[in-house]
Amino acid sequence: MSDMWITMGPQHPFSHGLWTLKIRADGEIVQEAEPVIGYLHRGWEKECENRTYPMIIPMADRLCYSASMTWSHVYCKVVEEAMGIELTDRAKYLRVVADEICRIQSHLMWLAAMGTDLGNLTVFLWSLREREFFLDLNVKLCGQRLTTNYPRIGGVRNDMPYYFERDCLRAVDRFEKMIWELVAMMDESAIFLSRMQGVGIVSRKDAANFGLTGPTMRGCGVDFDVRRDDPYCNYDQLEWDVAVCNDGDAYGRYKVRIEEMFQSCDIIRQAMAKLDAIPKTEPTRVKAPRRVPEGTHFARVEDPRGESLMYLVSDGTDKPYRLKVRSPIFVNVSASKHLVKGVRIADIPAIMGTLDMCLGETDR
Amino acid sequence: MPYSSIREWVTWSEPINSPYGVFNIPYELAYRVWELIGGTLAWLINLIFPGNSLSEYLAFDQTFASYIAIAIMVIVIFAVAFVINLTMIWQERKVLGRMMDRRATRIGPLGYLQCLADGLKTFLKENIMPEKADKKGYMWALVVLIGTSVLIACMIPLSSRWFVVDYNTGLLLIFGLFAIAPFMILVAGWSQNNKYSLIGGMRAAAQMVAYEVPMLLVLASVVLLAGSFNINDIVYAQMETTWYILPLFLGFIVFLISAIAESERIPFDLPEAEAELVEGWQTEYSGMKWGLIMLADYFRGYVACALIVIMFLGGWTLPFIGDGPIPELVFLLKVFMVFFIFAWVRAAHCRIRTDQILHFGWKVLLPLSVVNLVIVLAIMLAGGILW
């Protein structure tokens, strides 16, 4: 068979979202690959320039359906920095809890997608089953499952409801017990290991040069986490470890994400303990001015998919002059060109699956 | 001629001229059915045209009746195989539903009618054929694929009194027809003018190379032990000694894996790997064509399970009991138990890669099947299976 170009996408089972991977295949071997994005471009950044600052929070939710909490968080964070607002401890820990719930459910969504990529529907359904408990926590905390609209400029929308702490700890305890069932099914399956180990290897140097962030980068042995190295929201007062794996292959990225879920459980427990110590009368939200003083600011937050960053140029009015989004997946997907070179077509879902694609934030 | 009662025409006579020579339920059933239909027809015709010779012919000509009975028997056999097939689809859905912690089928009693709903749905879908497809390859590959799958499913005997053919190379014939499907997948994938289906077809060819040889070596070991290709002989040889799963456990494992690969189920469904190849070689088959492909898949799954039961689990016999009152039911229960393992494997595993299945087939399954053959030779040299 001579070489042929295959257009995988935009409607293709492996592309979670609307994007295309054009590959030049020699039989089963991929010779060349070219990612094409832009099918979901909706002018998000331009749209923000016509809205006042509080109106952008729900829009930030919709950047990525399974990481809405961290996206509205990073938006609120950049505006707060521009305004020079300091949050109360209660608001900070509430954001930590919300972010970690979001991280766990996002990683579970990734695991579910990974299952279908490798042809195992049981992983898909079990992951979604576990994810429901965290979506229920979202409902209790802010009334919505996915687009939560919870953070506010200067804090969070509301305090925890009654019994939230109990429900949260129950969900976390249950999760830690049940997830082993799922992990055992994957880790003890020789077929799963043979599909994941040794494919899509990225060296530490390449990871840094491609600009990979988040679990994808930590799976390559780069020990960096915004939560630890540029702490926000009192993450530095909690005790947890950054999950790192030196393998650099798809299995390494898988292990990092699984480990991160357990670390998130630890963080939720500690944040809950800290919240207990803070008097309930402390406000969860401080007053924010309507206008933002002139200047440029940026803020970054550890998204479930990597480092999400927003860059704000304000001109002193109540609307941003420019709001730039640095999406982790936009950068990660550009590395796919190098990742899938020389692998088999069957490995493409396994490799791209470990990047955890989300096109809403990529195309914006 | 005066009015004659219908009882004079529907005679319920014992079938003679049976092509089988032994008691065969489908044939008996078909013969009775024809006596009823033919007798009634003859009676009706005789009412209108009294004393004609056609009525005599329809009701009393035994040679003619035996031909018609064989035609009706085909329908009976197919209907039974079809119901078994639907039951297996239903069983797999239920098992997968329980294992995946979700709802399974819900239409009809116990969700049994879901398959009929699906069949109706695929039947009502638009039938699309790609403009630039190779029409002959596109259609004939499908016809041969589905045809052979249904044929071998119908050729599986349910017991020594429920069979279509019973001759000395029965097992070999079934294996030969079983191995046609991957070729047809190759042709179908090639003919569709679609890159995904082309890759899927090529994968089917690569996969076949991996499992076909170990599978036939295990078949050889069983045949050596039983001393015959005849399914009846193999089953009764197991009843006289022991189920071959005990001496040939290694061969059983190899055959189980090869059978899963042969029926193209997860983890060996590379030709239709939906994650990377959309639907693989089935991509361009739409509507009822796709529905029939799915049906044929389960026919082949049934054949794979039935072969395991015949070759390793004593067929329709039970230890210490022998045939028992309803051997057909015993056989089907065993088949469903083996199919449970198939569904279980499907629920637990990911899809394997092309190079990995070749590796696995040639470096693991093939040596194991040769070892299995050596075990059989050792048993034969020691004078057969001794209790």
Beginning with the edge strand found earlier in the chain, give each strand of the sheet holding A320-326 in spatial order: A295-303, A306-314, A320-326
d(Cα A250, Cα A353) in Å, to the nearest integer?
9
Range of the domain at A89: 44-335+347-363
Amino acid symbol at B172: L
Q: What is the pLDDT, as a whole number, of residue B16? A: 67
Q: What is the pLDDT, as a whole number, of residue B3? A: 63
d(Cα B341, Cα B313) in Å, to the nearest integer?
14
Q: Answer whether B30's CB lies under 8 Å from B76's CB.
A: yes
Tell me which residue in A6, A117, A344 faces B354 most closely, judged by beta carbons: A344
Tokens of residue A178, six digits: 């049940």
Task: Report the gap between the CA of B97 and the closest CA in chain A (Å).
Answer: 9
Amino acid symbol at B329: L
Task: Report the gap between the CA of A10 and the closest CA in chain B (Å).
Answer: 12
A282: domain CATH number?
1.10.645.10
Using one digit for the tens of pLDDT, what is the confidence trace for B208-220? 888 888 999 999 9
Cβ distance of B100 and A122 shorter than 8 Å: yes
d(Cα A306, Cα A312) in Å, to the nearest integer?
19
User: Residue B95 contacts by C-beta under 8 Å, 6 or more apart in sequence?
Assistant: B340, B343, B344, B347
Cβ distance of B199 and A189 shorter than 8 Å: no
- Rounded to whole angstroms, the maximal C-alpha distance in chain A is 72
Question: What percent of chain B stands above pLDDT 70?
Answer: 98
Q: Answer whether A300's CB lies under 8 Å from A309's CB.
A: yes
Nearest one of B365, B353, B362 to B203, comparing CA atoms: B353
| pTM score | 0.88
Question: Is residue A341 included in any domain, yes or no?
Answer: no
User: Residue A229 contacts by C-beta under 8 Å, 6 or more apart in sequence?
Assistant: none
- pLDDT(A308) > 70: yes
User: Residue B65 contacts by C-beta under 8 Å, 6 or more apart in sequence?
Assistant: B15, B31, B34, B35, B38
Using one digit for the tens of pLDDT, what is the confidence trace for A236-285? 888 888 888 888 888 999 999 999 999 999 999 999 999 888 888 888 88
d(Cα B268, Cα B342) in Å, to the nearest integer?
11
Chain B residue numbers with beta carbons less than 8 Å from the beta carbon of A119 are 266-267, 269, 273-275, 349-351
Q: Report, as an integer, the average pLDDT of A190-217.
A: 88
Nearest one of A99, A12, A65, A139 to A356, comparing CA atoms: A65
Cβ distance of A120 and B270 shorter than 8 Å: no
Quote the Cα angle for A39-A40-A46, to 5°.
Answer: 120
d(Cα B305, Cα B293) in Å, to the nearest integer?
18
Tokens of residue A274, six digits: 């800290």
d(Cα A22, Cα A4) in Å, to the nearest integer?
10
- Rounded to whole angstroms, the maximal C-alpha distance in chain B is 80
Task: Report the gap between the CA of A110 and the closest CA in chain B (Å).
Answer: 15
Collect the ranges in chain B with pLDDT lower than 50.
1
B168 lies within 8 A of chain A by CB? no
Q: What is the pLDDT, as a whole number, of residue A311? A: 92
Mean pLDDT of all residues belonging to chain A: 88
Tokens of residue B268, six digits: 């060996």
3-state secondary structure (DSSP) of residue A298: strand
Residue B265 has φ and ψ, to the nearest 5°, of -115, 160
Q: What is the pLDDT, as a whole number, of residue A221? A: 86
ipTM: 0.84
Q: What is the pLDDT, as a whole number, of residue B2? A: 56
d(Cα A119, Cα B274) in Å, to the nearest integer?
8
- pLDDT(A363) > 70: yes
Using one digit for the tens of pLDDT, what is the confidence trace for A185-199? 888 888 889 888 888
**Domain segments of chain B as ranges:** 6-85, 125-381
Calculated CA dihedral for residues B234, B240, B243, B249, nearest 10 degrees: -90
Task: Tally C-beta pairs within 8 A across A and B.
Answer: 84
Question: Is residue A38 included in any domain, yes or no?
Answer: no
Residue A262's region, left for phi above 0, alpha for psi from -120 to 50, else beta, is alpha
Question: Is residue A12 included in any domain, yes or no?
Answer: no
A29 lies within 8 A of chain B by CB? no
Cβ distance of A191 and B349 shorter than 8 Å: yes
Mean pLDDT of all residues belonging to chain B: 86
d(Cα A217, Cα A214) in Å, to the nearest integer?
5
List Cα–Cα distances, A147 to A42, A106, B227, in angstroms: 17, 12, 69
Residue B17's region, left for phi above 0, alpha for psi from -120 to 50, else beta, is left
d(Cα A146, Cα B197) in Å, to the nearest integer?
37
Residue A155's region, left for phi above 0, alpha for psi from -120 to 50, else beta, is left
Cβ distance of B354 and A119 shorter than 8 Å: no
Residue A2 has φ and ψ, to the nearest 5°, of -80, 175
Q: What is the pLDDT, as a whole number, of residue B307? A: 92
Q: What is the pLDDT, as a whole number, of residue B22? A: 79
d(Cα B342, Cα A57) in Å, to the nearest integer?
50
List Cα–Cα distances, B149 to B161, B181, B268, B343, in angstroms: 22, 8, 18, 20
Question: Is residue A36 included in any domain, yes or no?
Answer: no
Amino acid symbol at B382: A
Tally of domains within chain A: 1
Question: Is residue A15 included in any domain, yes or no?
Answer: no
d(Cα B201, Cα B285) in Å, to the nearest integer?
13
Let me know if A180 is exposed, middle or buried by CB neighbors in 10 A (0-12, 13-18, 19+).
exposed
User: Residue A46 contacts by C-beta under 8 Å, 6 or more apart in sequence?
Assistant: none
Chain A residue numbers with beta carbons less than 8 Å from the beta carbon of B349 are 119-120, 189, 191-192
> What is the Cα Rg of chain B in Å?
24
B98 lies within 8 A of chain A by CB? no
Q: What is the pLDDT, as a whole number, of residue A135? A: 92
Burial B72-83 (b: 16+ CB within 10 A, else e): bbeebbeebbbe
Alpha helix stretches (DSSP H) within A145-249: 164-187, 190-196, 204-210, 214-218, 226-229
d(Cα B366, Cα A346) in Å, to the nearest integer?
24
- Which residue reads 């991929």 in tokens? A30
What is the separation of C-alpha A74 from the centre of its chain, rounded to a whole number of angstroms?
A: 12
**Closest Cα in chain B to A181:** B348
Question: Is residue A18 included in any domain, yes or no?
Answer: no
A346 lies within 8 A of chain B by CB? yes
Which stretch of DSSP H or E encloses residue A31? strand A29-36
Nearest one of B347, B209, B198 to B266, comparing CA atoms: B347
Q: Which residues pair with A23 in a beta bridge?
A: A6, A33
Number of helices followed by number of strands (H, E) in chain B: 15, 0
- Which residue reads 């320039």 in tokens? A49
B253 lies within 8 A of chain A by CB? no
d(Cα A293, Cα B184) in Å, to the nearest integer?
71
B99 lies within 8 A of chain A by CB? yes
Nearest one of A102, A68, A338, A318 to A203, comparing CA atoms: A338
Strands A306-314 and A20-26: unpaired
Classify the C-alpha dihedral B321-B323-B326-B327 as positive or negative: positive
